[in-house]
Structure formats: structure tokens, C-alpha cells
Amino acid sequence: MKYLLVILFLAYSLVVLAQDATRGIVLDATSNEVLIGANVFSKSNWKVGASTDINGEFLVKNLEKGDTLIVSYIGYQEKEVVFNGEKYLTILLHTSVKNMAEVTVTAEKLVAEEFTYKKIKRLDIYLNPSAKADPLLATNSLPSSTTLDESANISFRGSSPDETGIFFNNVPLYDAVRFSQLNGIGTFGIFNTAIVDEMLVFPGNPPLEYGNTTSGLIAIKTTEEIPKEKIRTATVSLASYGFLISQKLNNSQALTAFSNYQPAAIIKAFNSDALQEIEDFSSIDLGISYLNVINENTIFKAFNYTLLEGYDFNYKAPTLNTTFEQRKKRNFTIINIRKQLGKSELSFNNNISFTNTQFNYADTDIELNYFDGFTSANYKYSTSKLSFKTGAAFDYREQHFDGTFYIYEYAEGPGYPTTSSTNTSELLRPEVYGFLTYFINDKWTIGGGLRKNLVTDNQSNFLSSQVSSKYQISTNSSLTFAIGNYHRYDFSESEKNLLNESKQVSIDYNLKNDYMNITASLFGKESITKGIKNELAGIELFLKSKLINKLTGQISYSLIDGISRENNGLEYPNKYDLDYFIRGNLEWRINANWTINSTFSFRQGNYHQPLIGSTYNTNLEVYEPEYAALTNQTRLPHYGIIDISISRIIPIKENLNIICFGTVNNILDKENIRTYQYNFDYTERNNSLFSQRTVYFGAVINF
């Protein structure tokens, strides 16, 4: 939670060397982790000083030999260091002396964590301008992300977002986004970044410790630290008002609560043209997290989240122009228990979730109710040479559909035929798994796992498997190889639910040092989703480097060659078949308080089936469109967007600061086409656009 005090505050110190200047680094004396945002000031002149940057380093000028530096950081003992002309200082800070009754517990670690493609910390999310402080959106800046609709429904390496597993504190969460169907505005995840400790991202070959995912996986964990002092954060912006408080109850317990309210009126007033299709939206949520470190071997966590949301937007069809209304209520409760027994560990994870969603427009009236129940028991054994984990999981999902809807997509509106349906579908997935990681030596690590379903009614028998290997080329570089076969069940309108299967292989190279980060990946996959076979092969390249003293840049390039095949032999380009997908970011840290960011994204336009004609239906008194076959798809115009953001931190006193921020999305106001809309007789065509230029600003108050 301490990172909240330094959101966007991280900037490199001035680097112009002077005769009376010194550089240095501030570290945790126990773990040697860098301390970001630590204060280093002259005892005799408080105007002489600096704060440590993202690497824990500082530069202090205008010093004289014999000056005393005071080094301080929240939760650590203050330290005095005498400057004797050193060019570089290494300063170690010890945590504040705590009551002997305070206890800590070893953090949980995935058995397959050695093969993680990307680990994202809370601070990384705040510093990522394209993330908009949202954990799920932060993954869209990865070269492996192939999300095509500006949303938090994450696609990795050309797979459908439905194939991406999202786990929160080791339990699966389905439909983890808000405003998931809001046309013309980016969607967001339901997770509050302030409670996120880290995210592990697997763009392919998801670890079999988790189930019901066939492509990428995002595993989010909440913090397990007892805050040393009360933390309070208030957020005020054009579209959000929020408050978070985290407080230590005693030496072993902590409670965190947060709430956010999102209205539409103010942001629509500032962006009336860009958001003209949005008539109204609002949401309010409440989250409560309880942490109890019972003793040094046992931890208990409970998390409850409630969300109420709604949006109204202008729905246009050739035969209809009306308001589409959506309302959603959601609540989920997660409980985790973990106990260490020497080299072994037992863990239990549980979740109960309820969702009610209603859709209304014209004669369409649909209500969906979901119930999700999940429980798992896991056993882990670890030594210096190996780590083994096994367990059983029980995942139950129930979907109840009740609604009236139009029979024909091209005939919507009063008087056109409708039909009604009521049905309940169930998914029951008991599974067992085992995964082993073996550390051969300092260079080689191998791992493998199996996951088997316990067959229930109307299900097929399957066995998922994977093998991974990592070679540590040097201290800064590694090569990872993975291959696997995965299975996932989907709801189906038929009596038997759909079993989806995916076979994948990937090779990932990573180089990271003080000056740059380079990754290169090759991958291939073959999947069967809803009866359609998809074959994909691709390459990903990523480079991040310090360009000049205060300017850092990064760029990524992805290419995917994809084909889809149906059972009847029909073959056509896959939705994610892309010759290029380019993303980049430039970050200019002007000084300790000011940061300017620019992000950009360019790719080929989406595939679509062009209109080739229309026929008048005398029975319905409506025109019926005729589109080109899937084999004759064409592309929409190329997609491109550039965003600009600026932030400033205003320190007022020791325990009070204000972070001001502003962004302009799609600053060039480029008209990126999402799809085409037609008039009644299909003689006129209009563009339906992705997000246009939008201004957004606000402030975060930490006190």
C-alpha cells in the first residue's frame, strides 16, 4: 500500500554532474529491495535533497564535505549519513522496530511461476499510461495482447477473450469487466489497483494449477502485508469519485475498504461530441478485504465485492433507432486459507458469486442470472531442488436465461416478430491435477503437469497436459520453451455443453538489464472453439530502452498468421490474422514532480463481410441484407491511435500529497471504424467508430 504515496511521482533525478554532487541507492537492509520514493535531504539545508527514483537511486547536488544526509522512508528507521565526498552511496534502511507479537508469513508462490512470461506489480500498473490505473487494461500494452476492441476483455496471441482465464486470489472469476457492452467507450476491469500486490501473466500455455482455460491466463493476488499505519486515498475525476482506507487492526490483522461512484454527466459535458452515443451510465461498488496472519505458518484472507452498474446508449439498426438499457448487479465472496507445514503447504480457496443482468431495447427484454461456486484443496511440497503441487477443484456454474428477443437480426423494432425462451444450463467441473518443477542446476529448470476431469453427466473425458523448460543463459537473459494441450467447457444451448480444446507450443527469449529490456517470442496453436478449428502461428518482438537521460521509450511488434476451418471444409482468414500490430510508449520525466507520457497503437483493420446487396421481404416488409461469404472477407481501414497524458505530484506535508493527472485519448481524433451501419433499404452506409478524442482529468489525494 505504500506505493500509493508515489504514484506517478517516480522520476529520474537531474543527472548533470557537479563537483559537489553525489549519487546513491537506498535499499531494504534485509531483502536488498530498492526503496522507491525515499527522501534524502541535507540536515543543514532541507532545500538540498531528492527522492529516490524507480530504481531506488538518487542524485543530491550542492553538498559540501562533512554535510549530514537524512534518509527516511515510511515504515523504516530514519538514518543519518555523513557525506565525505563519495561519488556513490549505498544506504541500507531497517524497518521500524515492531512489536514481538507481530507475525509475517511467507508469500505464496506458483509452482509454475518460473515459467511466467510477465510479472506485473502494482507500481507497474500505475506507471503504465495506457492502463488508466486498471490491472486488466495494463495487460493490453504487452506485445502478446491481441485485443481488437479497446476493451478489458483480454485476448492473447490471437485467441478469443473467452479462452483467457482470470483468477483472483486463486479462484476463477468470469465476466471480470464492467460496462462490457458499452459502445464507443473503453471498458474496465472490476479490480481496484490499490489492493493488487502483483499479477502473473501467461499469454500461452497456462499453468495447469488453474483449470478451464485454454489460452492466456491472468492471476491476480492481493497484498498480504499488514500496513504499518493507516492509509487513506480519495480520488476525484470527471467520471469517478472514490475512497479507500486500509488500517491495521492489531499486530496480525488488517482491514481494507474501498468504494467508487462513476456518473456520466460531467465527463459527457466535457466530451459531448465523442460520447454523443452514450446517453447515460453509472456504477457504484464496495469492496472489503480482511487479512489475518494467524501465526507465522497460517494466513486467512476474505474478500467481498459488490457492484451495481447500468448504462444507456443509442442503439441503431436499419429498422430501429432507440435506447439500449443494461443493468447489472454482482456480488462475489472469496475466502483463502493457507498453512505451512515445514516444507509442505496446505491451501483452500473458495468463492461464491451471483450476477443478475438485464438488457432492454424496443421489444427485447432479456434477464440473465448466474451463480458460480468454486472450492479447491491443494497440497504443495518444496525443496531447493523441486516443487510439487497437487489438488482437487470443484467448479459449478449455473446460467438461467429468460427473455424475449427478435427472430431476425435485420428486422428489429415494433411489429417485427419476436420469440421467447426460458432455460437453465449447468456446468459441473470436478478436476484433479498435479504439477512438478525441478531445478536441474543454476541454468536449467523443467516442469510438467497433468489435469484430469472427473466425468459427470453430458461431459466428455479429457486429460490436459503440459511440459515447460527454462534455460538461464546469463544473469540477465533466459529462454523458455513450453508445449501443452488444454481443455475448457462453455455453456451451450444444447443439452451437452461444448468442450473446447487447444494445443500450443511457444519459445520465449528475454533479456533485461539496467539499460534495456528485449523479448522475442515464437508461438503456434491449434484450437477447436464452438466447432471451428483455428490454426495460428505468430511472432512477437519487444524493446524498451532509455533513449536519453529523462526519456524512456518502448515499442513492440506482433504478427499472426491465422486460418479458421469449419466442419464442412469451409476455410477463411481468422479474426486475429494480422500482418502487424505495433504498440509504443514514450515517457518523459521532466523532474521529480512532472511526467509526460505518449502511447500509440497501430494495426490492420478488423475483418468484416461486406454488403453485396439486399432483397425486399414482402412478408416482413423489410429489406434483408446479403453479405459476402466468409471466404471473401475484406478489411476495415487501418486502426491507429495516439494518447497523451501528463501528471504532477504536489507534496503538501509529510502525510499529505495530491497527484493531479490529465489525459487526451486519441489526440488526433482519428476515425477508427468499428463497423458499418446502414439505413432501412441499405442504400446508405455510415461509420460506427471506436473511441474519439476524449479529455479526462482528476486528482488522487493521499493522506
Lowest mean pLDDT among 100-109, 164-173, 657-666: 100-109
pLDDT digits (tens, 9 = 90+) for 61-80: 878 888 888 888 766 777 88
The pLDDT score that the predictor gives to residue 689 is: 93
Query: Quick check: helix, strand or coil at residue 553?
Result: strand
pLDDT over threshold 50, residue 548: yes
Asked whether the beta carbons of 644 and 668 are under 8 A apart, the reply is: no
Q: Which CATH superfamily is domain 2-93 in?
A: Carboxypeptidase-like, regulatory domain (2.60.40.1120)
Angle at 374 between CA 367 and CA 340, to 5 degrees: 155
Show me where the domains of the chain are located: 2-93, 113-702
Burial class (CB in 10 A: 0-12, 13-18, 19+), 260: middle
Average pLDDT estimate for 601-624: 96
113-702: CATH topology: Maltoporin; Chain A (2.40.170)
pLDDT over threshold 90, residue 684: yes
Average pLDDT estimate for 132-157: 84
- The whole-angstrom separation of Cα 45 and Cα 290 is 43
Closest among 387, 412, 37, 349 to 210, alpha carbons compared = 349
The pLDDT score that the predictor gives to residue 102 is: 46
Q: Confirm whether pTM is higher than 0.75.
A: yes
Asked whether the beta carbons of 21 and 58 are under 8 A apart, the reply is: no
pLDDT over threshold 90, residue 346: yes
The pLDDT score that the predictor gives to residue 256 is: 95
Average pLDDT estimate for 615-639: 96
13: confidence class by pLDDT, cuts 50, 70, 90:
very low
Average pLDDT estimate for 651-655: 77
pLDDT digits (tens, 9 = 90+) for 212-256: 889 889 999 988 888 888 889 998 989 889 999 999 999 999 999
The pLDDT score that the predictor gives to residue 489 is: 85
pLDDT over threshold 50, residue 9: no
Q: What one-letter code names the amino acid at 366?
A: I
Pick the most confident of 45-54, 74-83, 159-168. 159-168
Whole-number average pLDDT of the chain: 86
Angle at 40 between CA 34 and CA 41, to 5 degrees: 180
pLDDT digits (tens, 9 = 90+) for 299-318: 999 999 999 999 899 999 99
The pLDDT score that the predictor gives to residue 472 is: 93
656: confidence class by pLDDT, cuts 50, 70, 90:
confident
Whether 2-93 and 113-702 share one fold: the answer is: no
Query: Quick check: helix, strand or coil at residue 122?
Result: helix
Number of residues that this document lists for the chain: 703
pLDDT over threshold 70, residue 182: no
Lowest mean pLDDT among 147-151, 536-540, 607-611: 147-151
Q: Percent of the chain scored above 90 by pLDDT?
A: 55
- The whole-angstrom separation of Cα 480 and Cα 467 is 11
To the nearest 10°, report the CA torsion of 1, 168, 143, 116. Answer: 90
- The whole-angstrom separation of Cα 460 and Cα 208 is 18
5: confidence class by pLDDT, cuts 50, 70, 90:
very low
User: What does DSSP assign to residue 125?
Assistant: H
The pLDDT score that the predictor gives to residue 474 is: 92
The pLDDT score that the predictor gives to residue 492 is: 58
Query: Quick check: helix, strand or coil at residue 177?
Result: strand
Strands (E), 296-417: 298-317, 320-341, 344-361, 364-382, 386-406
The pLDDT score that the predictor gives to residue 667 is: 94
4: confidence class by pLDDT, cuts 50, 70, 90:
very low
Cα–Cα distances in angstroms (integers) from residue 101 to residues 104, 132, 293, 295, in the given order: 10, 39, 11, 9
pLDDT over threshold 50, residue 99: no
- The whole-angstrom separation of Cα 599 and Cα 594 is 17
Query: Quick check: helix, strand or coil at residue 37?
Result: coil
Average pLDDT estimate for 621-628: 97
- Residue whose C-alpha cell reads 534502511 in the numeric block: 93
pLDDT digits (tens, 9 = 90+) for 372-418: 999 999 999 999 899 999 999 999 999 999 999 999 999 999 999 99
- The whole-angstrom separation of Cα 218 and Cα 440 is 27
pLDDT digits (tens, 9 = 90+) for 447-491: 999 999 998 777 788 999 999 999 999 989 999 999 999 999 877
